[in-house]
């Protein structure tokens, strides 16, 4: 190859990486492969330093120029997540969520860590059934650590449990088409809040039928939100859907993601030991994001998330939508 075109393959690889970053949602979602690609999208950024090393080794300006294309594209897509943009001031609500894991060997310790966050609304999924009674009531090792701090709790449901400092307006009910879900209206000092606590179907790249089931539940949840006239909505839980997954767009077209508004990084939550993707979310309407954080690892395979919110329009806030 002539000196003029040395590094052409590296430049082409860089251009292809940039095209995938920019157009990933346009690629066919055959057997869930599009969803899988979407989920790992931020990690395509690792191609940039590898291609840069090749470009420097080849001493090729063409290759280096090709590497700059995906570098700029990645920065445009994910750079804002690292720029602090959340509003400041007093909060109205603190929302905390964790998938505590059915395999959790120390539910009491996990419960104490969640209670210590000072949440106003606390959502836990994969809460084990009572190991003795096995009658649909919550494992007492978990409940007795949290119950004293919260006067209101959704009825026993080992799949999705909610504790609140504020009362519910009527009984919670599942969202149609989303088996592991609870919806209720909370009466807070700032007005009513429509709360959706959910645990969507699992996402398994090697099992297209499982992905299809998850996608169906995302659409069902989005339909419920679309039909909800409430000015203030919070959707919180393990959505089993990455921030970059095209399916999440059904919800983010209606709600704002607090993790994207906060500017505190990509906020991956799973797996807990070395998080590679954000599966747990707080999505809102009618609130301003003050803070969004992923909490330190506990015994679960998911890390907990925390969101501080203020009702939009109060103080000098910048509403999320």
Distance CA 20, CA 171 (A): 46
pLDDT in tens, 70-108: 999 999 999 988 887 777 889 999 999 999 999 999 999
pLDDT in tens, 205-215: 989 999 999 99
pLDDT at 3: 47
pLDDT in tens, 120-163: 999 999 998 877 666 677 888 899 999 998 999 987 666 899 99
Q: Which two tokens stand for residue 146?
A: 């949290």
Sequence-distant (6+) residues with CB within 8 A of 79 are none
pLDDT < 70 regions, the chain? 1-6, 132-135, 156-158, 314-321
Q: 241-251: buried (b, 16+ CB within 10 Å) or exposed (e) per residue?
A: bbbbbbbbebb
Question: What are the extents of the domains in the chain?
Answer: 7-82, 93-311
Phi, psi of 116 (to 5 degrees): -70, -15
Distance CA 160, CA 127 (A): 7
pLDDT at 1: 46
Q: Where do runs of H (alpha helix) occur along 147-282?
A: 208-226, 249-252, 258-262
- Provide CATH code, domain 93-311: 3.60.10.10
pLDDT at 69: 94
> Sign of the CA dihedral 198, 243, 190, 224?
negative
pLDDT at 264: 86
Distance CA 214, CA 246 (A): 12
pLDDT at 319: 41
Distance CA 55, CA 10 (A): 7
Distance CA 242, CA 275 (A): 12
* Half-sphere exposure (Cβ direction) of 298: Cα atoms closer than 13 Å: 25
pLDDT at 6: 66
């Amino acid at each position: 190859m002539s000196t003029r075109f040395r590094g052409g393959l590296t430049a082409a690889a860089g251009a292809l990486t940039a095209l995938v970053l920019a157009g990933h949602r346009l690629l066919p979602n055959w057997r869930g492969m599009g969803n899988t690609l979407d989920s790992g999208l931020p990690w395509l950024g690792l191609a940039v330093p590898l291609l840069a090393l090749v470009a420097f080794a080849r001493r090729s300006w063409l290759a280096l120029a090709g590497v700059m294309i995906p570098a700029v594209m990645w920065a445009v897509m994910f750079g804002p997540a690292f720029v602090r943009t959340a509003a400041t001031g007093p909060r109205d609500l603190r929302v905390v969520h964790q998938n505590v894991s059915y395999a959790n060997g120390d539910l009491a310790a996990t419960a104490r860590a969640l209670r210590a966050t000072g949440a106003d609304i606390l959502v836990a999924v994969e809460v084990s059934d009572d190991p003795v009674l096995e009658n649909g009531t919550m494992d007492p090792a978990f409940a007795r650590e949290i119950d004293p701090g919260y006067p209101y709790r959704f009825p026993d449901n080992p799949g999705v449990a909610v504790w609140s400092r504020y009362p519910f307006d009527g009984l919670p009910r599942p969202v149609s088409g989303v088996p592991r879900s609870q919806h209720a209206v909370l009466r807070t000092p700032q007005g009513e809040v429509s709360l959706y606590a959910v645990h969507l179907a699992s996402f398994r790249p090697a099992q297209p039928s499982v992905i299809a089931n998850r996608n169906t539940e995302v659409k069902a949840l989005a339909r419920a939100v679309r039909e909800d006239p409430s000015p203030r909505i919070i959707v919180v839980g393990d959505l089993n859907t990455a921030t970059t997954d095209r399916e999440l767009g059904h919800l983010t077209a209606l709600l704002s993601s607090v993790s994207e508004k906060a500017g505190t990084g990509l906020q991956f939550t799973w797996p807990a030991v070395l998080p590679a993707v954000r599966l747990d979310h707080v999505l809102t309407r009618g609130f301003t994001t003050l803070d969004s954080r992923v909490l330190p690892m506990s015994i679960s395979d998911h890390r907990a998330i925390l969101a501080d919110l203020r009702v939009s329009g109060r103080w000098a806030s910048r509403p999320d939508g």
